[in-house]
Chains A and B, each alone.
Chain A
Amino acid sequence: MGLRRLVLFSPGNWWLLLVALKCSEASPDLNESTNSSAQQEPNAWFAAASSEADEKIPVFALDYDYVQIPYEVTLWILLASLAKIGFHLYHRLPGLMPESCLLIIVGALVGAIIFGTDHKSPPVMDSSIYFLYLLPPIVLEGGYFMPTRPFFENIGSILWWAGLGALINAFGIGLSLYLICQIKAFGLSDVNLLQNLLFGSLISAVDPVAVLAVFEEAHVNEPLYMMIFGEALLNDGISVVLYNILIAFTKMHKFEDIEPVDILAGCARFIIVGVGGVFFGVIFGFISAFITRFTQNISAIEPLIVFMFSYLSYLAAETLYLSGILAITACAVTMKKYYFMKMLSSVSETLIFIFMGVSTIGKNHEWNWAFICFTLVFCQIWRAISVFALFYVSNQFRTFPFSIKDQCIIFYSGVRGAGSFSLAFLLPLSLFPRKKMFVTATLVVIYFTVFIQGITIGPLVRYLDVKKTNKKESINEELHIRLMDHLKAGIEDVCGQWSHYQVRDKFKKFDHRYLRKILIRKNQPKSSIVSLYKKLEMKQAIEMVETGILSSTAFSVPQQAQRIHGTKRLSPEDVESMRDILTHNMYQVRQRTLSYNKYNLRPQTSEKQAKEILIRRQNTLRESMRKGHSLPWGKPAGTKNIRYLSFPYGHPQPARRDPRAAGFTGNDSSDSELPSIMFKAHSRTGTLQERRLTHEIIPMKSLPSGGKPCHVRYPRHTSQEEHVGPGRREALRPKPLFHAVDEEFESGEESEEESSASGSRWSAEPRPSRQHHRSHSPLLQRK
């Protein structure tokens, strides 16, 4: 299914690519003075410039070599992006296979073309390019998207598992392969122990991002999710450190024997490199957070500063031979607390995956059955060993141990990815005569894990019925959990105990009193929660509203109709306060649900578009308010706070209404009825499943006073059947409400996750069902 989609959009793109390739072949002929060997030279793009040209000035010249690398890289990325679009057009496909599969397939296709045309792929991958440019953004993103709270709640287990697990895997695989290499029959006797260890270290770098996506969709329990996340976050760093140290050993081994002292030094170095990297990261994180305090007027520069500081921490750490990866991770984590931004880092990963595909097809392989099969087997065995052993230990210390099922899932989620491949590809040929075999084995492992495990882990998670998380993303839950947090901290205070929750509390207080004052600029509008993720929450609110619109289109058509015929003018205050309330509400709900997904960045909505969406939403709300003739209150309640969704009318706001919204407000009709708001919060987490839709009906006006405490009356609202209200207001709402679900809207539901643009599209379309706008919701009846 997906392939068909792929084909739909691909030809144009491939045509471009083919043109490019043709050109590159043609260029030596056209440009006589170019060295014929230019294609073989890595710096081919300088060749044309440096060569002696003809005296005549050519009227038309083609100098493809000059632009070859950026040109082809750009084409790759474009191709991958288009492939991703196609991948998500068919909305069930992402649920079936991870996106890395797609990238690899595309890469393989490109590789096939390159191979077929005998073209040489540009030297994108080389040690310095990878470590200096491609790797940092990938790691940085992981740090930014880390859900801080659950991470630190499970930090002991995470460090234990991610740290020791990587080591056990690396050494386990390396040593077992070394034993295999001793068997003469396999023809591997020239592979020595160090090389095996090195291979073990690079093959043990798991990249479970695809698994995380699956987990998120299946809502597995939080500790399990955090284990895999922590592994994704830390594993890269550990493997790379190990890799570099082993490379150093190998170089050394070439000239002299390794003494025990060296091994000890290596271990010490491993620790210093790691700790030093983290230290650097934290320092730079704080500096950067401090600097962003002063950037309020030039906020455009903030992302730059944040990125540059992270990068600087990486480079600085690398200068001192510390782990830049751990530095940048720590830096991102530190800053995240004070500043939030989204990183567009998928580019480098896309590149690596594509390059992986490209290099799959070619002649640079050495297929050794024994080595490859045993690698595959040992990868699984050692992962199993490390999982069960390490979790057996750490379970002794956990209040709620990981079940066997959880451990099975963790075992199965050992998907290798871009990291392993890059490290294998970057092995220096001089030290590793059998590099080709290593690369081939790595590729096989990656392909096996990405395709087989990556595709089957979703069904497995469902089959094993892993304990689900309870992320229903409801306001109630959020409130209850918060209450419980405070309660627990309070109880501990009462008991005079100093433990987990209190540590957190104390840090919060410290954070609040000192760090924040230093690091966050003073005049940020609201303190603590709200100010931190202001931008984020705005975006999320918009997202929610957007999806709310989408789901409402899909769910109950009359709202659509009503929206179009929005009649009542919106007062700017209402818009503003609704927006406020939305953001507050959304923030409360979604604070912890920052989802981490390397491949899918959330759609960015421009401010303007956002406003438009919000205002349209207002129209819907207002419209349904207008339709709510009757109060959904059972008994009149008596106090001033009955203004249910209380808008601060006292604050005049600048008019921020969209002209389009004004256009909607033409035909006023009965405004005098008591309004209520249909408020629909639909959570969107990028998954395919429909989430629970919550409808909320919020009456807006004060009620006639009475003595009773307030009671809320929640009329039905999801009924699909016709309903004729028996009340005295029947005349005002004569029509059945939910009778016109046309297919168009149902298809709207399908396209829910596709793009943000469709959100406005649906709402912008004038519905033909004009007659509905007179219909009244049975929800709003009362006796």
Chain B
Amino acid sequence: MGNRLLDSSSGGAQCGLGGERRRMMEPGGWGRGRRMSPASRWWLPSSGVTDVFLSLSPPPFLPLPCFSVSSDQIEQLHRRFKQLSGDQPTIRKENFNNVPDLELNPIRSKIVRAFFDNRNLRKGSSGLADEINFEDFLTIMSYFRPIDTTMDEEQVQLCRKEKLRFLFHMYDSDSDGRITLEEYRNVVEELLSGNPHIEKESARSIADGAMMEAASVCVGQMEPDQVYEGITFDDFLKIWQGIDIETKMHVRFLNMETIALCH
């Protein structure tokens, strides 16, 4: 289905959404009237945004992922950001409670946490940020951009790696660079938590089975005294080998006419 079709129809659909959108429509809220809030000017692509962006969030250990957004989108995201934050410059964890749809998401806590993860924000190798500003918000969003088909192989690989790293961080909650069995189990339990009838036991055994499988995929034949301590990022890449994350991990709306910002 064409995203343009979707986009054109999404306006109408959103109106029926309920609370959120209505708030946006209120006078004095975040309607379309306020196109250029001062806070949203800095990112405009006219003045070397790439540099600005890079300097604002220096990559501690990796270059920025392929990141291209159109000004429309950023504006849209900025409105949303303001709405979430309650017109504050930063978002705190509690602000995410305002998203009603998120409540039903079984991995809600993981998602929210990912927004504050320093690793995803490129601000450090561990720990959580207390609050994030709009740049950070954009940084997180940038992980969900579709991969441009015009990119060359190297860039695609880079993108892929970035996306996978984001996913990896969702699993690896203690930032030790490994998905341990405990962490894996947690994730699986959360995934299955939507269904109250699945016992924890079975969730665990699924995680266990997955772990076994991961071990056999990643290490292959292990020495008898070898210990598989958890899935490292390299192993994670190995598991994902052949799965075209490029076509999977992206959010459609971020994919209108794009302006490349960092090619």
B32 within 8 A of partner (CB): no
Cross-chain contact B228 with A725 (CB below 8 angstroms): no
With A and B bound together, what is the CA distance between A394 and B5 in angstroms?
Answer: 11
Are A488 and B251 in touch, CB under 8 angstroms?
yes
Q: How far is the CA of A581 from the CA of B203 in the complex (A)?
A: 9
Contact across chains for B96 and A584 when beta carbons are under 8 A apart: no
A495 contact from B80, B214, B222, B255, Cβ within 8 A: B80
B60-72 vs A: 1/0 string, CB under 8 Å? 0000000000000
Spell out B's residues near A (CB within 8 Å): 1-6, 10, 13-14, 17, 20-21, 77, 80, 83-84, 96, 99, 101-102, 104-108, 110-111, 114-115, 141, 144, 146, 149, 167, 170-171, 180-182, 185, 187-188, 191, 194-199, 201-202, 204-217, 219-230, 239-240, 242-253, 255
Inter-chain contact B206/A714, CB cutoff 8 Å: no
Contacts of A400 in B (CB 8 A): 146, 149, 246-247
* Known contacts A476-B213, A494-B96, A497-B10; is-contact A397 B3 (Cβ 8 Å): yes
List 17 additional contacts besides A712-B211, A714-B226; criterion CB under 8 Å.
A396-B2, A397-B2, A399-B252, A483-B107, A484-B249, A486-B107, A486-B191, A493-B99, A496-B21, A499-B3, A499-B252, A528-B194, A647-B201, A696-B212, A713-B225, A713-B227, A718-B221
**Chain A residues near B202 (CB, 8 Å)?**
580-581, 584
Q: 0/1 per residue, A466-488, Cβ < 8 Å to B?
A: 01101010111101111110111
Stretch of A170-178, A327-335, A775-783 at the chain-chain interface: A775-783
B244 touches A725 (CB 8 A): no
Residue of A399, A489, A717, A727 ringed by the most chain B CB atoms within 10 A: A399
A409 at the A/B interface (Cβ < 8 Å)?
no
* A697 cross-chain contacts in B, Cβ below 8 A: 212
Say whether, besides A483-B167, A712-B215, A494 and B111 are in contact (CB < 8 Å).
yes
Nearest-CB distance from B113 to chain A (Å)? Answer: 11
Given contacts A488-B144, A710-B180, contact A698 B14 (CB under 8 A): no
State the Cβ distance, B201 to closest chain A Cβ, in Å. Answer: 5
- Determine if A509 is an interface residue (Cβ-Cβ < 8 Å): yes
Which B residues touch A714, using CB under 8 A? 212, 215-216, 219, 222, 226, 228
Check A470–B244 contact: CB distance below 8 A. Answer: yes
Contact, CB under 8 Å: B213 / A584 = no
Closest to B106 in A: A486
- Are B244 and A509 in contact, with the CB atoms below 8 A? no
Residue of A nearest to B180 (CB): A709
- A477-B210 Cα distance, complex, nearest whole Å: 9
Q: Tell me, rounded to whole Å, the shortest Cβ–Cβ distance linking A694 to chain B.
A: 5
Name A residues whose Cβ lies closer than 8 Å to a Cβ of B: 154-157, 221, 394, 396-401, 467-468, 470, 472, 474-477, 479-484, 486-502, 505, 509, 525-530, 577, 580-581, 584-585, 588, 633-635, 641, 644-648, 679, 681, 694-698, 709-719, 723, 725-727, 778-779, 781-783
Smallest CB gap from B214: residue in A = A476
Q: What are the 5 tightest A-B residue pairs by CB atom distance, in nearest-first order?
A: A397-B2, A634-B227, A156-B1, A696-B212, A470-B243
Contact residues in B for A713 (Cβ distance below 8 Å): 222, 225-228
A-B CB contacts (within 8 Å), total count: 260
B187 touches A694 (CB 8 A): no
Contact A480 B239 (CB under 8 A): yes
Once A474-B213, A526-B195 are accepted as A-B contacts, the answer to whether A492 and B167 lie under 8 Å apart by CB is no
Report if A479-B244 is in contact (Cβ < 8 Å); known contacts: A499-B252, A719-B221.
no
The residue on A at minimum CB distance from B146 is: A399
**Chain A CB within 10 Å, residue with most, of B21, B208, B209, B214:** B209
- The answer to whether B77 and A495 have CB atoms under 8 Å apart is yes
Known: A494-B96, A695-B216. A679 touches B6 (CB 8 A): no
Give min CB distance, B207 to chain A, whole Å. 8
| Complex Cα gap A481–B248 (Å) | 8
Contact of B205 (CB < 8 Å), options: A482, A584, A695: A584
Give the nearest-CB partner of A577 in chain B: B201
**A714–B223 Cα gap in the complex (Å)?**
8
Choose among A155, A486, A711 the residue that contacts B227 (Cβ–Cβ < 8 A): A711
**B6 contacts A499, CB within 8 Å?**
yes
Contacts A483-B167, A483-B191 given: A156-B2 contact, CB under 8 Å?
A: yes
B253 pairs with A497, CB closer than 8 A:
yes
Residue picked from A482, A486, A580, A647, most chain B C-beta under 10 Å: A486
Q: Is the CB of B102 within 8 A of A490?
A: yes
User: A494-B99, A497-B10, A499-B10 in contact; A479/B206 too (CB < 8 A)?
Assistant: yes
